[in-house]
Amino acid sequence: MTITMQEEAPAPKVMRWNWNRHPKCIALARSQLRKYLRHWKAEELTDSAVLLLSELLTNAVRHARVSPGREIETVFEVTDERLRVEVSDASNTLPAMRHVDNEAEEGRGLSLVAMVATRWGTVARMVNGEYAVGKTVWFEIDREPWKADA
């Protein structure tokens, strides 16, 4: 299930989307993040944010081994100071950075998140202020002050 922003109404500063755990959700979520950042005049964050969102969603789709029907939630919040993106899934297994050799074709996602994001981490999943099944992996990218005013 995808919730789309309506063009005629102002988008809230915090946007939430729920996605079926399927590889197609990654491209759809990237598109929503691009629209969101464009709407809030934060396009300078787009390249880094879309890359990191792709990494976190790919991990959730591939590794969150949960029963069918469990959705992945994304949350986007932009302020004058930063962008925060959260990806939540119903798996309680926390992601871990791996040390991979130069020939490996996967396993670098969290290292990339750590290099590009200003901050990132994992927390127990919360729904309406209560602990829920699963975890949230998040990142923040600070905005340059002169770009936030533009």
Q: Which domains does the chain possess?
A: 15-93+107-148 (3.30.565.10)
The predicted structure's pLDDT at residue 104:
52
pTM of the model: 0.82
Q: Which residues of the chain have pLDDT under 70?
A: 1-12, 65-69, 97-108, 145-150
**Per-residue confidence (pLDDT) for residue 38, from 0 to 100:** 95
pLDDT for position 36: 96
Q: Distances in Å between the alpha carbon of 38 and those of 23, 43, 69, 115, 120?
A: 24, 5, 31, 24, 23
Q: What is the pLDDT of residue 1?
A: 54
pLDDT given at position 64: 77
